[in-house]
Copies of this chain bind each other. A is one copy, B any other.
Amino acid sequence: MNAIILSIGDELALGQTLDTNSAYLSAHLAEHGVMTRYHQTVADDQADIAAAIRTAAASADLVLITGGLGPTDDDLTRFALADAMGAGLHLEEAQLDAIRRMMERRGRTMAERNKVQAQCPDGATMITNEHGTAPGIAATLGRCTVYVLPGPPHEMVPMYAAAVEPRLPSPDLTILTRKINTFGNGESNVAEMLGELCARDRNPLVGTTVSEGIVSVRIRSAFADPFEARRQLDATIGQVEQRLGAIAYSHEDQSLADAVLTLLRQRNMTIATAESCTGGFIGKLLTDIPGSSDTYVGGWVTYSNAMKTRQLGIDSAIIEQYGAVSEPVAAAMAQGALGRSDADIAVSITGIAGPDGGSDDKPIGTVWIGIAQRDGDASAHCMLLSGGREQVRDRAAKCALQLVRLKVLGESFDIVRWAMPIHSSRTTS
């Protein structure tokens, strides 16, 4: 079975918006053994869209189309599909009601123009959209099945999962995959740790990908026998984890923040944060996780020095003597957060994210991370991170979370090798 994926929109064809839907869909189709022959992005031109649908439907078993289902004049996919089918359109009253109810739940009155979203090509069926006003469309052109899905990813993804994926055929091979996430080392370091497990002709196949500093190890086990596929997958997971050690923090899509919260919860510990250069980003990452309130008590964004002094009780003489980005300030921030909250561990960050504020002594990317534990000591750890402001802040927040993990696990911080550790210090609280 093969597929063609079309994405519709001037903003995509003109390069103003990046199409992520097509990559998402083809990756998910591949898991079902459905190979994508091509993606095509077409501008908001009804004749061009209709021609692209006709061409695709003539040469693939499955055509997935995203976008162009909105309520405005440049949303033309439903009309182009009707053209390609040689069909008229009719109003689906049930969908019109669903749109009206969706708008009402959001406290809005359905605009006249939303009615067009309930227009369905004759002979096609509509798919209710649980996350937006645009219903999807399922149709048949000759021997080809066509699905039209809404363009916004948060509407497209659940509709694909609910209406398309369950109708895909079962593949001949059982393909099982697992992703193991690491933070702290570069991709080539991780590949070296894995060694011959990464051979390209191995089954299960082991590969690495990197995204935003997180190096993920992907394992793909493909066997005719489902039990063998599972057994081999589990064996390879064991080998990979043994070689990675503590830098591996989770499987599949569990975030680093979630892994930290899970670990703290197991140890019956709570955490507080004190952030300067990350400005609340660690708190945001921790509270991304539902149920984090049992473990994360909260924290301080002490962006100004006055906030550091007044809210965390840091002696302004220390800030003057060592600077806000320094070992004693990082340690005092963590200790201040610990002392003022009822948390069991506190983590702090102070650094120079750029683009201004760097010096020879403290270049942009210099980040101090402080960790203080109740009934324990406080320590501070300096890293020099590369990249622009966004990257420095992102990596600093992840470093802080990984160091909390390692601290609680009693692991050495030396395994974090991708940033340049300048030095660590230790002070008693």
> Which residues of A pack against B, CB within 8 Å?
10-20, 22-30, 35-43, 45, 48, 52, 70-74, 105-108, 111, 113-114, 131, 152, 154, 179, 186-189, 191-192, 198-200, 207-211, 218, 273, 275, 277-284, 286-288, 290-293, 296-304, 306-307, 310-311, 340-342, 354-356, 384, 386-387, 389-391, 393, 417-421
Chain B nearest CB, measured from A72 CB (Å):
5
What are some 9 contacts across the A-B interface (CB < 8 A)?
A15-B24, A15-B28, A18-B20, A39-B40, A74-B207, A152-B210, A288-B390, A290-B355, A311-B340
Assess the B278–A284 pair: CB atoms within 8 A. Answer: yes
With CB as the reference atom, state the residue of chain B lying closest to A154. B391
Contacts of A354 in B (CB 8 A): 290
Chain B nearest CB, measured from A231 CB (Å):
23
With CB as the reference atom, state the residue of chain B lying closest to A28. B15
Assess the B301–A280 pair: CB atoms within 8 A. Answer: yes
Question: Once the chains are docked, how many angstroms separate the CA of A299 from the CA of B70?
Answer: 39
The 3 closest A-B pairs by CB, nearest first: A279-B287, A280-B280, A107-B420
Choose from B39, B275, B290, B293 the contact partner of A303 (Cβ within 8 Å): B293
Contacts of A200 in B (CB 8 A): 73-74
- Given A113-B191, A354-B290, A301 and B303 contact (CB-CB distance below 8 Å): no
Assess the A72–B208 pair: CB atoms within 8 A. Answer: yes
Contacts of A27 in B (CB 8 A): 14-16
Choose from B23, B310, B390, B418 the contact partner of A108 (Cβ within 8 Å): B418
